[in-house]
Amino acid sequence: MVKTLQDTRMQLQRGEATSQDLVSEALAALNSPEGQGDKTFIRVYEKEAILQAEAIDKVRKSGVELHPLAGIPISIKDLFDVAGEVTLSGSIVRKKSDVARSDAYIVSMLRAAGAIIIGRTNMTEFAFSGLGINPHYGTPLNPWDRKIGRIPGGSSSGAAVSVTDNMAAAAIGTDTGGSVRIPSALCGLTGFKPTAARVSTKGAFPLSTTLDSIGPLANSVACCALLDQTMRGAPVQVLLDKPIGDLTLAIPQTIVLDDMDGSVAAAFENVLKMLSKFGVRIVEHSFSVFSKIPMANSKGGFAAVEAFHTLRHLLETDEPNFDPRVAVRVKRGAEMLGVDYLELLNNTAQIRKEADKITRNYDAVIMPTVPTIAPVLDNLETSDELYHETNLLMLRNCSFGNFLNRCAISLPIHKAGEPPVGLMIMGNTAEDEKLLEIANSIEKVISKE
């Protein structure tokens, strides 16, 4: 049984564990020679975490009421600023860059809550891939089928493995085309991508200023809601449920159900039967608007042109030290003309309006988070063609939500012992609270089976 943040908080309150215990356990897992710690973290704050845990334990003993995250180890993706450090963003080309003058906004909010930042997690260089492969720092292996060696998903690769391997109680990642939801689905976690403007990106190294969003990877919907509240500086509130029998969910029939492997198809079909049994109304909808999104992105989309704007100087001066598979995607942005960008903006607005008209009739839209289980790492490392083909497949379903600026969450729906599979639930723009309540209800149905 997985441990939620609420479980950990109750252990601390009852005196069954201390923050020092939690940090010691996280560091033991991180430093284990049999584990994935060396590939999961780019930097570890061992001394700082131990000192902070000692201080929080003293405050807790004094009877002071603490924030629910106080004294709990949390990992952060390597693209968040930490004062006095260079933000590498999974690269080596930024090693000579200026140090950050202050913490990223979300880091400062986590610190204010008393969360213990255990370390900075590995990621795809500059967050520009859904596979999680990094040639500079290694690639942490998926917790499932580790002997064979499968990808963790990306770009928040280390974030996911830090949680699955008990090196952190939860992780903070970013999601520009699925980078929170993909690794969550492939590794058996819950991953929440909020509406883009919901959480401040101040102090986060950008991939796409239009699409970037910040979200948690954790062991439950309630965990994600707590982390989301904390990062926004919002009051901590108990997550409510939406009555499960009142829900109407739509399944798009365009693109998102294509190319499913047997494991994903079986898990998805099983969860549909479960939801129907509990009174959920499930409607198939053509959702043909999805077919317009690849066409709108045909010249590289927002990510390529906005990443090229950010990384152009580094490419000009130090391209040999880039991951070549990332560099080729970034350089696509150089091909986009000003008129192309304006056309993309116009098409995006029109497509979003069309999608809004469809989804206003449903509580949420559901689909597989990714259409296949985690691919084998070696195969992708040795073939550029397979790498790019698989990357597009991993990103496909999730990226629709980013393009539409929707909130979305991935829930694990596989049975014990089976390869991890994720169910994606996509809500309307800025209806994040409603989505979390729907996901909370669906999670409870899944846990009953």
- Find out whether 185 and 264 touch, Cβ atoms under 8 Å: no
Residues 6+ positions from 423 with CB-CB distance below 8 Å? 267, 268, 271, 366, 367, 368, 369, 410, 411, 412, 413, 442
Among 412, 405, 331, smallest CA distance to 175 is for 405
Tell me the two tokens of residue 433.
């609270």
- Catalytic residue, candidates 77, 193, 242, 331: 77
CA atoms of 27 and 118, how far apart (whole Å): 8
Q: Where does 137-261 have alpha helices with state H? A: 157-164, 181-187, 221-232
Tell me the two tokens of residue 214.
């910040």
- Find out whether 396 and 256 touch, Cβ atoms under 8 Å: yes
Among 194, 204, 205, 206, smallest CA distance to 230 is for 194
Give me the sign of the Cα torsion angle 332, 127, 207, 251: positive
Among 154, 108, 147, smallest CA distance to 132 is for 154
179 is catalytic: yes
- Find out whether 266 and 232 touch, Cβ atoms under 8 Å: no
- Catalytic residue, candidates 129, 179, 184, 399: 179
Tell me the two tokens of residue 158.
């280390």
Residues 6+ positions from 13 with CB-CB distance below 8 Å? none
DSSP class per residue in 395-445: HHHHHHHHHTT--EEEEE-PPTTSPP-EEEEE--TT-HHHHHHHHHHHHHH
67-72-73-75 Cα dihedral, nearest 10 degrees: -40
Give kind and range of the element (H or E) at residue 74. strand 73-77
- Catalytic residue, candidates 155, 208, 213, 399: 155
Give me the sign of the Cα torsion angle 390, 300, 176, 294: negative
User: Tokens 């397979």 label which residue?
Assistant: 386
102-202-91-99 Cα dihedral, nearest 10 degrees: -20
129 is catalytic: no
77 is catalytic: yes
Reported in sequence order, the residue ranges of 90-226 that DSSP labels E, i.e. its strands, are 116-121, 170-175, 190-193, 213-218
Tell me the two tokens of residue 42.
């780019």
What positions carry a catalytic annotation? Answer: 77, 155, 179
